[in-house]
Structure 1
Amino acid sequence: MRRVHIKGAPPKDWVDEAEAITTLLRAATNLDERAKIIDKNEGLWRDDRIRNWLLQQFNNKCWYTEAQDSVSSIHIDHYRPKCRVKDLEGDVCEGYWWLAFDWKNYRICGQLINVKKLDVFPIIEGARANATDPVSLQLEAPLLIDPTTDQARLITYEKDEDACMAVPAANISDQDEQRALRTIEILGLNVRDRLKQKRADYWDKCMMAIADYKGATGPHVLQLVGQAAAMEKLKGMVGYTEEFSSVIEACIRKNAPAPLIALIFEKLPSA
């Protein structure tokens, strides 16, 4: 998984509409009133103004998988579920209704990932955030890894004979490893055969470029030229806007010679 870097702000007219609806939500006196307001205005988080702005942040990639899919629809996921929340035991409580129209709670998400995630949002410990205390949101400890934070690095990839699987990163704490495993499970990152195979295809392309670097032969000048070409290809594949760039990074770090790793990732821009 790769961190998504948010730049700028959404169109002001969209933000103004969202804030006005949030004001109505906060004025509502019960769950039924809030649900009616959310249902009536659900088109706002599907509006092209916010949708296109969010898509541009990560080159039309799903923020959880880095997949670009022109066939399946792309959803606007509420990272913190808006209507109800389910924990790992299946217990249900009130959702984060006051964030229903807050763009900072939105994540671009492939349809199948969003359907798998639904309203599951466990927390590690402590209390859930509440609408009356803005600080409580900052103090909350979600179990689900947020792709807009550095915690995205807790999930990496490995390839076996059949497919490329999402796995916890190496050398992380036991708690972080559990977070990675649970996130992989909640999002279904290893459920879809097509997704696993597509990651494997990119892994294989990366391995071919690494082999080109290692196998550059001939006079010294030609070796340098061959190695430089392979390095530039790998740098392109691991670029922020490229599909499955985090898979490519995992492949390089696990299979490339140390000098090549240093050349690729030295001063590599994050976005």
Structure 2
Amino acid sequence: MEFVNPEGLRLDGRRPTELRQIRAELGAVAKADGSAVFEMGNTKVIAAVYGPREIQNRSQQISDQALVRFEYSMANFSTGDRMRRPKGDSRRSTEISLVLRQTMEACIMTHLMPRSQIDIFVQVLQADGGTRSACINAASLALADAGIPMRDLVTSCSAGYLNSTPLLDLNYVEDSAGGADVTVGIFPKLDKVTLLQMDAKLPLDIFENVMQLATEGCKAIATELREILLENTKQLEYRRGG
């Protein structure tokens, strides 16, 4: 199958190094302390943050930092597949929740909120590739919306290698084609990698190219997220008569 045509365009009309369109809305869950809907192309994710609040289970209390809990799930209608979910799906959700919790915990200044807990819930509403990255970006926005102190926004993007071509921000068709896929999460201002996942081996020189492409994608997403947050702040000030 041809993933990049002779004119240099992918199946969805993008260039190999082009991100899908990004859209986001803050404050989507009224009762949450912070929330966001985030879309990358046809992948759509909602995130809600509760906290910092009093810890529910005293045995889990940490004297010098906040407890961060993360719950990832996929809506049954998210893939458009009418068949039942495969067995082991809950185990996969648990594994993804753990990876995403570690990623978000690294950006939260937990030492400023000892003996408290912060709960992050993320649900995939529509899946078309890049769901983990979309979850991280949605959670970042929701944490910012909740006013949780962070070292930096954490942003994420994937890149892959198909038919000898590095591709940025894979959609589902590209992601499921069997090529290598690298998901990266970074602190953009600090220029620090917080997440690196690969599902296939790559020669070192190709890996470096794909990794660099994903990192550039993360930085481009960071710019867009900051603009979204700035615009949201302006709207809040306007509503308050500022």
Q: Give the TM-score normalised by the residue count of structure 1.
A: 0.24
The structure with the largest strand share of the pair is 2
Larger-Rg structure = 1
- With normalisation by structure 2, the TM-score equals 0.26
Instruction: Kindly indicate which of the two structures has a greater share of residues assigned to helix.
Output: 1
